[in-house]
Amino acid sequence: MISKSELKYIQSLCHKKQRQEEGLFIAEGPKLVHELLNSNYTIHKLYALAGWLQTNKQVNIDIVEVNETELEKISALQTPNSVLAVVQQKQATDPNIKGKISLLLDGIQDPGNLGTIIRIADWFGINEVLCSGDTTELYNPKVIQSTMGSFVRVNVWYGDIKNFLENTTVPVYGTLLQGRSIYETAKPKEALLIIGNEGRGIKDELLPLINYPITIPRMGGAESLNAAVATGIVLSHLV
């Protein structure tokens, strides 16, 4: 059973201000909770249906059994999925991008795009994702859900990306409409790949800091590619 005050508190974590004040976030569904249980994230409390509890008796965390109506009230999903976790946020470590390929996201606004990009990064073994301050927040419930748990393996850092680029010795690649075809670009052993905003692309102030402008050649009539889709295509040729 869940109290009214507790219900309101969990609902409040759907709002960025409350998440930042509390240093907490919510994650939902067996897949995400399983990833969290096997990570170094700290789970404060679980809210679960009886069926999930039956198959996860070994979990040694504070758990509140809820019914489907209660889970629906605290869930941010259209279709709640058996278990919800309230989790402590983690402070990102300073990025270590030497000797490997990393991502830099410039103003990615769509939560689904950010979550999917983190999932793509994890697929390709990339564990550093740098984000501009105007990139959407990692702990947005839609971002967390879209990562499908990959956020536990990827260091997502937010900061002054222009200053970072000005002080890095790692080659900087940028996805632009005018650039060298990725099919003609050699696979780098070390690189920082910039992915720009969904609408305007990479900020003008960052363009002079790109060493290798690259592009996905267009063969049809579409004006642009989804940021996450473009990330996957480029990484499949660079990694």
CATH of 4-88, one of 3.30.1330.30, 3.40.190.10, 3.50.50.60, 3.60.15.10: 3.30.1330.30
Closest among 133, 122, 156 to 235, alpha carbons compared: 122
> What ranges do the domains of the chain cover?
4-88, 101-238
The DSSP result for 165-214, as a single string, is HHT--S-EEEEEEEEEEGGGSPPPSSEEEEE-BTTTBS-GGGGGG-SEEE
Q: Confirm whether 4-88 and 101-238 share one CATH topology.
A: no
Homologous superfamily of domain range 101-238: SPOUT methyltransferase, trefoil knot domain (3.40.1280.10)
Show contacts of 68-76: CB within 8 Å, 24+ apart: 70/1, 70/2, 70/7, 71/47, 73/7, 73/11, 74/2, 74/7, 74/10, 74/11, 74/47, 75/28, 76/14, 76/26, 76/28, 76/141, 76/142, 76/145
Digits of tens for pLDDT over the chain (239 positions)?
788 899 999 999 999 999 999 999 999 999 999 999 999 999 999 999 999 999 998 888 999 999 999 999 999 888 888 999 999 999 999 999 999 999 999 999 999 999 999 999 999 999 999 999 999 999 999 999 999 999 999 999 999 999 999 999 999 999 998 899 999 999 999 999 999 998 889 999 999 999 999 999 999 988 888 999 999 999 999 99
Q: Which two tokens stand for residue 168?
A: 């890095």
pTM, two decimal places: 0.95
